[in-house]
Amino acid sequence: MLTTPPPSPAGSDAPTTRELFTVRQDAAPPGLYFLAVPGLRTLLTPGMLAVGDALQGACAQRRFLCVLGDAGVGKTFAVHVVGRSLGELLPLDFRAQPTPADLRAAFHRALKLRGEAPADPGAADTLIRRALAQEPRIVVADDADRLSASCFEYLRFLHDDLPQGLCVVLVAAQRGERRLRAQRMLATRSAGWLHIPALTRDQVPTAVPALHPLWQSVAPGDLQALDARLAGGALRRWIVATHHTQRALAATGASKPDGGLLQAVADRIDGGRRP
């Protein structure tokens, strides 16, 4: 059973339901979006709120945080947007089946250390540990369920070696939870296990027009029908739909999407499949 941070007590400064899906002033860098779609906005989603609470605690404790959810719900996006306000992010870029040597190289690049990572593990670790000890950082490992047991052991080594610990965010698809749970070292080093859900049917008419103004002229029922067919509450899929709808509007010269255009866009994306 997944555990999530408890809701904030009444009277706290936590945003209310009415503040959900408002546009954040600190917009995400363009490269963080799945597609470079003009006009996209950064929203205060339920997932963003949950990640903010959980990551703040993990940073304070310098512990691991496991963020799980289906593809496209905004796990990595939320971690990067929220993490930027809490400290320096160290996103690890590694291959599909990484080894500890790959992690050393990823840390070397993320920390912007000089030259290539030393081939000698001890020399590489000395540079990495020295750099990590200089100031608090937030290490982000996307697709963390691809890490081997030896890679998890390497992360444990770095965490335990630093006197104040190390904040490491492990982001994985929902199906990867079992693999992460199997790592015994996480049981005593994790600040929390967080599940990021997709948008609900009732949230779609509020969230999608806030995500991009293109959808503000589309009826709520039509948005819900399009979500059921294409997106399933995943914001990444809505970004794809926005991209294709923008292209269709440009090709037809229409000022806003109507039912026929939306059906054509949906057919293009899913090949004519119906829910």
- Longest C-alpha distance within the chain, in Å? 63
Which residues contact residue 225 at a Cβ distance below 8 angstroms, ignoring those fewer than 6 apart? none
pLDDT digit string (tens) for 186-225?
Answer: 999 999 999 999 999 999 999 999 999 999 999 999 999 9
Could you tell me the pTM of the whole model? 0.88
pLDDT digit string (tens) for 148-181?
Answer: 999 999 999 999 999 999 999 999 999 999 999 9
Print the SS3 string covering 105-147. HHHHHHCCCCCCCCCCHHHHHHHHHHHHCCCCEEEEECCHHHC
42 φ, ψ (degrees, to nearest 5) = -95, 120
Query: Is the distance from CB of 43 to CB of 23 less than 8 angstroms?
Result: yes
Q: Rounded to whole angstroms, how far apart are CA atoms 168 and 140?
A: 6
Across the beta sheet with 64-69, the strand order is 88-91, 137-141, 167-173, 64-69, 190-195
pLDDT digit string (tens) for 101-158?
Answer: 999 999 999 999 999 999 999 999 999 999 999 999 999 999 999 999 999 999 999 9
Rounded alpha-carbon distances, angstroms, from residue 82 to 50, 94, 144:
10, 22, 19
CA 186 to chain centre: 20
**Burial of 214: CB neighbours in 10 Å, binned 0-12, 13-18, 19+:** buried
Per CATH, the homologous superfamily of domain 46-195 is P-loop containing nucleotide triphosphate hydrolases (3.40.50.300)
Rg of the chain on CA atoms, in Å: 21
